[in-house]
Amino acid sequence: MIVIVTFLIVAMLAAAVSAYFFRDLLNAVIASCMVSLIAAVMFILLHAPDVAMAEASIGAALVTTVFVIAIRRTTRYEK
Amino acid sequence: MNEMSILDPVLLIAIPLGLAFLIPLLGLVSKKIVRWIPVVGFLFNGIVALLILPHVLKQPIIVKIGGFVPPFGINLYAGSVGMLLASLIAITGFLVSIYAVKYITKGAEQKYHILFLLLLTGATGVVLTGDIFNLFVFFEILCISSYALVAYLGTRSGLEASIKYLIQGSIGSSFLLIGIGLLYGQFGTLNMADLARQIVDYTEPSVFVSMVFMITGLGIEAAIFPLNAWLPDAHSSAPSSVSAVLSGIAIEVGLYAVIRVLFTIFAVSNFFIFFMVLGVLTVLIGEMSAFAQKNIKRMLAYSSIGQIGLIVFAFSISTQLGVAGGLFQMVSHTLGKALLFLCAGYMIFRTGSMEISSLEGIGKKMPITALCFTIGTFSIVGLPPFTGFASKFMIIRAALANGELLLQILIGLVLVGTIIEGAYFFKIIQTIYFKGAHKTDNREEAPVTALIPMLILVSFIIVIGMFPNIIDKVLQPAASELLDQVKYIGSVLG
Amino acid sequence: MRKCIGIILLIIIAWGILTSLQTMPFGVSRAKVANHYINNGKDETGAANIVTSVVINYRAFDTLGEVTVLFLSAIGLGAVLATIKTREKRDTEKASLILSTGCRFLFPPIILFGAYIFIHGHLTPGGGFQGGAIIASAFLLMYLGCHGEKRLNDRCSTFSESLGGLAFVIIGLIGLAVGTHYFLNNFMPLGKFNTLLSAGVIPIIYIAIGFKVGAELSKIIDLLMEES
Amino acid sequence: MNILYDYIYYAGAFGLIFIGIFTMMVKRNYIKVIIGLSILETGVNLFLISVGYISNGTAPIFSNPGIEAKNMVDPVPQALVLTAIVIGLAVLSLALSMAIRLYKHFGTLDLQQIKEQRW
pLDDT tens, residue by residue, B400-410: 887 788 888 88
As a whole number, mean pLDDT of residues B31-37 equals: 83
Inter-chain touch D97–C10, beta carbons under 8 Å? no
Q: Which residues of D touch B147 (CB under 8 A)?
A: 94
Residue B78, H or E segment:
strand B75-78
C38-58: buried (b, 16+ CB within 10 Å) or exposed (e) per residue? beebbebbbbbbbbbbbbbbb
Partner residues linked to B64 by β-bridges: B75
Task: Count CB pairs under 8 A between chains B and C.
Answer: 176
Q: Which residues of D touch C42 (CB under 8 A)?
A: 62
Q: What band does B70 get if pLDDT is binned at 50, 70 and 90?
A: confident
Of A30, C131, B79, B236, residue with least CA distance to D82: C131
Inter-chain touch C182–B148, beta carbons under 8 Å? no
**Minimal-distance CA residue of chain A relative to C122:** A50
Chain D interface, best mutation among A4, A10, A22, A47, by max D CB count within 10 A:
A47
3 state SS of C200: coil
B225 domain-assigned: no
Inter-chain touch C29–D54, beta carbons under 8 Å? yes
pLDDT tens digit sequence for B140-172: 999 999 999 998 887 888 888 888 899 999 999
Domain boundaries, chain D: 2-55+70-116
Touch criterion met for B and D (3+ Cβ pairs within 8 Å) = yes
Count Cβ atoms below 10 Å from residue B93 Cβ, excluding itself: 30
Chain C interface, best mutation among A17, A58, A66, A71, by max C CB count within 10 A:
A58
**Minimal-distance CA residue of chain A relative to D2:** A2
Q: Write the residue in D10, D60, D83 that is nearest to C50 by C-beta.
A: D60
B421 domain-assigned: yes
- Per cent of chain A over pLDDT 90 is 37
Task: Count CB pairs under 8 A between chains C and D.
Answer: 136
Nearest-CA distance D16 → chain B (Å): 12
Inter-chain touch A57–C51, beta carbons under 8 Å? no
Inter-chain touch D86–A2, beta carbons under 8 Å? no
Q: Which residues of A touch C125 (CB under 8 A)?
A: 49-50, 52-53
* pLDDT value of position B6: 63
CB B96 within 8 A of CB B453: yes
Q: What band does B439 get if pLDDT is binned at 50, 70 and 90?
A: low
As a whole number, mean pLDDT of residues D22-50 equals: 90
C162-182: buried (b, 16+ CB within 10 Å) or exposed (e) per residue? bbbbbbbbebbbbbbeeeeeb
pLDDT over threshold 60, residue D114: yes
Inter-chain touch C137–A61, beta carbons under 8 Å? yes
Contacting chains of C (3 CB pairs or more, <8 Å) are: A, B, D
* pLDDT value of position C43: 76
B370 domain-assigned: yes
pLDDT over threshold 80, residue B494: no
The whole-chain average pLDDT of chain B stands at 86
Inter-chain touch C183–B8, beta carbons under 8 Å? yes
pLDDT over threshold 70, residue B199: yes
Q: What band does B294 get if pLDDT is binned at 50, 70 and 90?
A: confident
C97 vs B440 pLDDT, higher one: C97
D73 vs D83 pLDDT, higher one: D83
**Minimal-distance CA residue of chain B relative to C158:** B24
Give me the helix-helix angle, C60-81 and C202-225, nearest 10°.
20
Inter-chain touch D40–B174, beta carbons under 8 Å? yes
B53 domain-assigned: no
Contacting chains of B (3 CB pairs or more, <8 Å) are: C, D
**Structural domain harbouring B299:** 271-484
CB B275 within 8 A of CB B312: yes
B436 domain-assigned: yes
Q: What band does B1 get if pLDDT is binned at 50, 70 and 90?
A: very low
Query: Is D37 near chain B, with CB under 8 Å?
Result: yes
Inter-chain touch B181–D91, beta carbons under 8 Å? no
Q: What is the rounded CA–CA span in Å between residue B326 and residue A44?
A: 49
B135 domain-assigned: no
3 state SS of B61: strand
Chain A interface with C: residues with Cβ < 8 Å: 48-50, 52-54, 57-58, 61-62, 65-66, 69-70, 73
Query: Is D88 near chain A, with CB under 8 Å?
Result: yes
Nearest-CA distance D59 → chain B (Å): 18
B120 domain-assigned: no
Alpha-helical (H) ranges within B59-155 are 80-103, 109-128, 132-150
Of B82, B210, B220, residue with least CA distance to B147: B220
Inter-chain touch A36–D81, beta carbons under 8 Å? no
With the C-alpha atoms ordered B123, B128, B133, B137, is the resulting torsion angle positive or negative? negative
- Per cent of chain B over pLDDT 70 is 97
Query: Is D69 near chain A, with CB under 8 Å?
Result: no
Q: Which residues of A touch C225 (CB under 8 A)?
A: 69
Query: Is B160 near chain C, with CB under 8 Å?
Result: no
Nearest-CA distance C97 → chain D (Å): 32
Q: D8: which residues sit within 8 A by CB, 6+ positions away?
A: A2, A5, A6, A9
Query: Is C127 near chain A, with CB under 8 Å?
Result: yes
The fold for domain D2-55+70-116 equals Helix Hairpins (1.10.287)
**Minimal-distance CA residue of chain B relative to D44:** B178
B191-225: buried (b, 16+ CB within 10 Å) or exposed (e) per residue? bbbbbbbebeebeeebbbbbbbbbbbbbbbbbbbb
Query: Is B154 near chain D, with CB under 8 Å?
Result: yes
pLDDT tens digit sequence for D41-75: 999 999 888 888 877 777 777 777 777 777 778 88
As a whole number, mean pLDDT of residues B197-206 equals: 81
Query: Is D103 near chain C, with CB under 8 Å?
Result: no
Q: D93: which residues sit within 8 A by CB, 6+ positions away?
A: A66, C73, C77, C220, C224
Q: What is the rounded CA–CA span in Å between residue C68 and residue D35?
A: 24
Range 45-74 of D in CB contact (< 8 A) with C: 50-55, 59-63, 69-70, 72, 74
Q: Which residues of C touch A62 (CB under 8 A)?
A: 133, 136-137, 140, 217, 221
As a whole number, mean pLDDT of residues B300-317 equals: 89
CB B111 within 8 A of CB B246: no
* pLDDT value of position D64: 72
Inter-chain touch C26–D50, beta carbons under 8 Å? yes
CB B215 within 8 A of CB B183: no
pLDDT over threshold 90, residue A73: no
Q: What band does A33 get if pLDDT is binned at 50, 70 and 90?
A: very high
Distance (Å) of CA B473 to CA B81, B110, B333, B457, B478? 12, 40, 19, 21, 9
pLDDT over threshold 60, residue B247: yes
Range 22-41 of B in CB contact (< 8 A) with C: 22-25, 27-28
B252 domain-assigned: no
CB B195 within 8 A of CB B493: no
* pLDDT value of position A37: 92
Touch criterion met for B and C (3+ Cβ pairs within 8 Å) = yes
Inter-chain touch C66–B182, beta carbons under 8 Å? no
As a whole number, mean pLDDT of residues B273-282 equals: 87
Q: Which residues of B touch D102 (CB under 8 A)?
A: 159-160, 163
Task: Count CB pairs under 8 A between chains A and D.
Answer: 145
Q: Which residues of A touch D97 (CB under 8 A)?
A: 70
Nearest-CA distance C98 → chain B (Å): 38
Chain D interface, best mutation among A21, A32, A42, A53, by max D CB count within 10 A:
A32
* pLDDT value of position B2: 46
Q: Which residues of chain C have pLDDT under 50?
A: 228
Contacting chains of A (3 CB pairs or more, <8 Å) are: C, D
Number of domains in chain B: 1
Inter-chain touch D83–C33, beta carbons under 8 Å? no
D110 vs B456 pLDDT, higher one: B456
